[in-house]
Amino acid sequence: MRLGCHLSIAKGFAAAVKVAPTLGANAFQYFTKNPRGFRNAKPLDRVDAERGRELMRELDLIAVGHTPYLINLAASDEGLYNASIDALVQDLVIAQARGTYGVVVHCGKPKDQGRSWGVERMQKALRTVLERNQTEGVQILVENTAGQGSEIGTTMEELLAIVEPFSFEEVGICFDTQHAFAAGMISRDNPSAFAGFDNPAFMQRLKAIHLNDSKVEFGAHKDRHELIGQGQLGIPGIAGLVNDPRLTNIPFYLETPVNTEKQYADEIQAVKDLIKPAP
């Protein structure tokens, strides 16, 4: 099982690779750029990127990138829409240089344009990104949302509608458990009942799971993560997910609100303690 957490690359990508095993992680996620902005990004340090790639091979690690929060591939504002496309194209280059298999991007917000318009707008953006993409072996991973405001991607059907025009190799899905709980997609007592886990098209695209507990109740439509076992999804929900045999080969990434990265060691161990031995 691949289990990891989100790590800072403020001291370099290779430095983050070294940190992961000390926390008990064999996978990790990182921000491709400043998470609160995507303009004026620092140039890619290719020496550091290559060293990180080498270390991942040596340590048997995998990693996935996460785009800045400001990216909105369903934006009605043309300036933000085009800047978001430019940023994602660049993020694919960054991910390939670092040897990471995917880049996670949130489903967009079309504001008052409506959900159907937003789905089509995001499809158009993804199509443009893929036309401009010069990398190989890096997937765009579309992440479900909690449904704050006009966010799309709050149901399995909407997620599949967004990714359907694209090949499985180009566009996949990242499933966030807190977002899914807050959107009413999965329950505390039986998260494995989520229809997506029995849907071949969904499972073929599922390449990452953000494993987060929830500060807010079921169906609250708010993006509020909590430490493992301390939220509304709780031990029953988390245990149900990590012991689902259909998810055994999907990497899990923690994005819980730790005070320091070292606290992720406790969070990772808390998850490991919930995993039942194979029969």
**Domain boundaries along the sequence of the chain:** 3-272
In whole angstroms, what is the distance from residue 137 CA to residue 128 CA?
Answer: 18
Question: CATH second-level architecture of 3-272?
Answer: Alpha-Beta Barrel (3.20)
Q: 35-60 burial by CB neighbour count: b if 16+ within 10 A, else e?
A: eeebeeeeeebeebbebbbebbeeee
Report which secondary-structure segment, H or E, holds 130: helix 115-132
CA dihedral 248, 253, 256, 259 (to 10 degrees): 130
Single out the residue of 167, 158, 156 nearest to residue 130, CA to CA: 167
Residues contacting residue 199 through CB under 8 Å, at least 6 positions apart: 156, 160
Task: Pull the structure tokens for residue 162.
Answer: 């967004």
How do the pLDDT tens digits run along the chain, 279 residues long? 999 999 999 999 999 999 999 999 999 999 998 776 666 677 899 999 999 999 999 999 999 999 998 999 999 999 999 999 999 999 999 999 999 999 999 999 999 999 999 999 999 999 999 999 999 999 999 999 999 999 999 999 999 999 999 999 999 999 999 999 999 999 999 999 999 999 999 999 999 999 999 999 999 999 999 999 999 999 999 999 999 999 999 999 999 999 999 999 999 999 999 999 877
